Structure 1
Amino acid sequence: MASTPTEQPSSTSTFPSRQKPIPYSAANGTRTPLSSILPPLIFGTATFNHQFNNDPFALDTVGLVTSALTHGIRAFDTSPYYGPSEQLLGDALATPFVRETFPRASYMLLTKVGRIKSDEFDYSAAWVRQSVQRSLERLHTDYLDLVYCHDIEFVSLAEVLEAVTALRELRAEGKIRYVGICGYPLDVLGDAAEMLLRETGEPVDAVQSYAHFNLQNQTLGGPRGIERFRAAGVGVTTNASCLGMGLLRREGVPVGGMGDWHPAPRALRTAVHAASDFCDSHSEKLEVIAIRWALETWVSAGASCGSRGDPASGLPWKHESNSEVGGAALGVSVIGVSHPAELDKTMLVWRSILDGLEGGEETAVQAGRWYRAWEWSRSRRAAVRILAEGVEEILGEWFGYSWDSPEKGFVNKHKPVQGKNAVDGEPSLLTPAASPESKPVDGGEGVEKGIPLR
């Protein structure tokens, strides 16, 4: 089966110029709908973390962020829970070149509140307020575009209501613009979205689900997922982790500085390994099929809670508007990479997906790309779907399986820290010198850690 062809650069000038702001207005109490401006491809920085890499400080995060911007990405997703992620992202965005070429208004920053550690959560108004302030400082900005309550399944609905109320107060103060919730169990997310609409009379702007729309689990695309969120008035539903937090890889789950933390049971991992062998037999890598299938399928499956924001073109210094790729709302996905080669490959896949949309043939020709890019994209889509069906058959009973989150018997061990600097009670970030060593697991030797993840 043919591999993705190397796209040729656009015929337009590649000379850097000051990028235009994303249109936003909050005049007369009416805000621009998130669904009209959120880019459909978001750069997730969970990989800037010890879960996925032995030493995230050793990654070329400045190069990755700069390259993502030059290829058209205009939104970044992070969290205080992702170790040094906010710090590394903020420093990358603060370089002179980025500040001059990509003004703050030309991209969107998404972060989270509430989750401190794997077994510690604080959704109190005081913590939310101080956490947001710390994120503003780490990201070197005076406002955040979207803030999620992080992994809401670990707290009560009453706590979610308190946190969302606090975030909306911060929104009124101009420190954030949109409010969302995120987590793993879809039923919990649905219950929360409906509760917030019922109790406050206002729907949440966004719901982010992870590992629920990929080759192994596609529940997000059905009545328990996006259909329920749409009925609760949710503006945008974002799909994160098209590799199931690294499960859907030939090498197996990722093992970074924190050892093997992945919740997938061994039998599921075995089934995924068999699916990888199946893809190998057709000269394809499981993760390549998984990424292409999830991104391409969610563009349409997630459209009912999608966005008309401008997509990343995937080409250096080539801006592309939503109208140039058909004008319809597109499902929003979050990608994560650790190395430049992964970003380059992901951008090629995304560019090919856009070429297959309505008007893709004309767009490719006008931009000076391969005149048969649209035809190639459609053929590639058909091939990927055939292999995806094969993977589903091999997974058998494990197709659609969701692990418990939280695990039975979970207890929130967080003890609120009183006082003005309560958020300082959180452990400091690991520095390069303090980075832990990887813990070996079965088949863990030679594991490639830098792949698109959550």
Structure 2
Amino acid sequence: MAATPPATADAPQVQRPVAYEKGTPLSAILPPLIFGTATFNHQYNDDPYALDTTGLVSDALTHGIRAFDTSPYYGPSETLLGAALATPFVRTTFPRSSYFILTKVGRIAEAHFDYSPAWVAQSIARSLARLHTSYLDVVYCHDVEFVSPAAVLGAVRELRRIRDEEGTLRYVGISGYPLDVLGSLAELVLRETGEPLDAVMSYANFTLQNEALAGPKGIQRLRNAGVDVVPNASPLGMGLLRRQGVPVGALGDFHPASRALRQAVRQASDFCDAHGEKLEVIAIRYALETWLARGASVGSRGDPASGVPWQQESNEAVGGTKLGVSVIGVSRAPELEKTMLVWRSILDGLEGGRETAIRAGRWSRAYEWAQNRKRAVQILSEGVQEVLGEWVGYTWESPPEEKGSKGEKEKEGGQGRVEAPWPTPDASPEPEVSIPLR
């Protein structure tokens, strides 16, 4: 171990506020790692109220996580997150100005959407109450492919009205799966309003199986539309890239992957097993680590999560450049601990990683270890992609053509119901993953 003593004390310290003022680009302050709380949901856990969500959120904050993603569509997620953020410990140690809350509007239930201005305003007011906050940092229009472009444009306008007149939200974005829809809507918003979206969140589009988000139809098109930040969510492809296969819960088998694709993933998992690794471990590390660089042009210079209790770290400590932003969810303390160890190792491999590790009192060869681990993951990732073969780059339809109810989606204001689409990873989050301590 390095002889240098730790840079900070192992005791609670009041955390510094984010350097925000009106006009600050989201890319200047958003952390590169966001805690997704879709796991605080009946569709993932039998009883989310039985989870230690308060302890989990406190631990996440303690280890440097400064952003939480939620939605009214995630069952009790907003309520549970709000309660965790309202404890005396969090309020005293982590002022509201020291972390981000990202939530959504528009998707009410699996097959019920309402993008009308009246509902958007009502949804914002409800989220503020549930989350015990006077403002929301980022608000997305949720799963935009299920409603009309006119409805999305109207919702964006209403969110910006609330931002400008009421000041209860700061940044506006959209989320969804099909990159062509996300790109066309980003262009529409810029063309019709003269102001680009602050953020566009995509899921399952930068994984071991599908890297389309990094291509010209992804971040290049979104950048051309002026989008500031593009977070990458669902590094396991809605739970596809797991040894045990796609998750099947109370809602049944929701995943759109074909039997042939699932079989190819099973073969890829066998390949990883033969080399002493788990497919999900390789998939998560590959997506997180690779997106830091590939997504940098639509990333952020916000403070990274150090993974070390009470150690605050600036973006300059890990190279000073923008880092691609990722969203990953956990539901139990061991998952969080292991995820943060992996994340810390990834940060150790960035520019200045060796010096940072020494200053923090960690192993002086942490940078070397991280670089070697990165190479090993890259080699196995290439092997996985060889096994997947023709399925690399494959995307599914969203919504499925046979399930879409176009007439309902085209109602004025985006109100109405569609025939039940499959749940997105927001509704059926990533399964629990056991990540080795390495």
The TM-score, its normalising length taken from structure 1, stands at 0.88
Is residue 118 of structure 1 aligned with residue 110 of structure 2? yes
Q: Which among 276, 296, 311 is matched to residue 283 of structure 1?
A: 276
DSSP-derived class of the 1:110 partner = strand
Is residue 411 of structure 1 aligned with residue 393 of structure 2? no
Deviations 1:83-110 (A, max 9, x none): 1111111111111111111111110000
Q: Is this contact kept in 2: 1:72–1:316, CA < 8 A?
A: yes
- How much has 1:400 moved relative to structure 2? 1.0
Counterparts of residues 188-203 of structure 1 (less than 5 Å): 188-203=181-196
Q: Which among 115, 119, 122 is matched to residue 130 of structure 1?
A: 122
Counterpart amino acid of 1:283? G
Is residue 385 of structure 1 aligned with residue 385 of structure 2? no
Tell me which residue corresponds to 1:238.
231
Instruction: Provide the rounded CA distance (Å) in 1 between the counterparts of 2:288 and 2:5.
Output: 22
Q: Is this contact kept in 1: 2:106–2:115, CA < 8 A?
A: yes
Instruction: Provide the rounded CA distance (Å) in 2 between the counterparts of 1:326 and 1:47.
Output: 32
Instruction: Provide the rounded CA distance (Å) in 2 between the counterparts of 1:73 and 1:213.
Output: 22
Is residue 348 of structure 1 aligned with residue 341 of structure 2? yes
Deviations 1:229-254 (A, max 9, x none): 11111000100010112111111112
Q: Which among 69, 80, 88 is matched to residue 77 of structure 1?
A: 69
DSSP-derived class of the 2:137 partner = strand
Q: Which among 46, 51, 55 is matched to residue 54 of structure 1?
A: 46
Tell me which residue corresponds to 1:146.
138
Counterpart amino acid of 2:433? I
- How much has 1:69 moved relative to structure 2? 0.3
Tell me which residue corresponds to 2:420.
none
DSSP-derived class of the 1:274 partner = helix
Structure 1 gap segments, 5+ residues each: 427-447
Q: Is this contact kept in 2: 1:50–1:258, CA < 8 A?
A: no
Identity %: 69
- Relative to structure 1, the CA distance from residue 49 to residue 99 in structure 2 (aligned partners, 3 Å threshold; closer, same or farther) is same
Is residue 335 of structure 1 aligned with residue 328 of structure 2? yes
Instruction: Provide the rounded CA distance (Å) in 2 between the counterparts of 1:69 and 1:245.
Output: 26
Structure 2 gap segments, 5+ residues each: 418-429
- Relative to structure 1, the CA distance from residue 211 to residue 106 in structure 2 (aligned partners, 3 Å threshold; closer, same or farther) is same
- How much has 1:263 moved relative to structure 2? 2.1
Instruction: Provide the rounded CA distance (Å) in 2 between the counterparts of 1:292 and 1:135.
Output: 32
Q: Which among 204, 208, 216 is matched to residue 201 of structure 2?
A: 208
Tell me which residue corresponds to 1:98.
90
Counterpart amino acid of 1:451? V
Is residue 186 of structure 1 aligned with residue 182 of structure 2? no
DSSP-derived class of the 2:163 partner = helix
Instruction: Provide the rounded CA distance (Å) in 2 between the counterparts of 1:334 and 1:266.
Output: 27
DSSP-derived class of the 2:231 partner = strand
Structure 1 vs Structure 2 CA RMSD: 2.2
Counterpart amino acid of 2:11? F
- How much has 1:450 moved relative to structure 2? 2.5
Deviations 1:206-235 (A, max 9, x none): 010000001011000000001111111100
Q: Is this contact kept in 2: 1:53–1:449, CA < 8 A?
A: no
- How much has 1:50 moved relative to structure 2? 2.3
Deviations 1:369-409 (A, max 9, x none): 10001111111111101100111111111111111110113
Instruction: Provide the rounded CA distance (Å) in 2 between the counterparts of 1:169 and 1:93.
Output: 27
Instruction: Provide the rounded CA distance (Å) in 2 between the counterparts of 1:9 and 1:155.
Output: 55
Instruction: Provide the rounded CA distance (Å) in 1 between the counterparts of 2:47 and 2:257.
Output: 24
Tell me which residue corresponds to 2:18.
22
Tell me which residue corresponds to 1:450.
432
Q: Which among 349, 373, 395 is matched to residue 402 of structure 1?
A: 395
DSSP-derived class of the 1:14 partner = coil
Is residue 249 of structure 1 aligned with residue 242 of structure 2? yes
Tell me which residue corresponds to 2:368.
375
Tell me which residue corresponds to 2:169.
176
Q: Is this contact kept in 2: 1:79–1:85, CA < 8 A?
A: yes
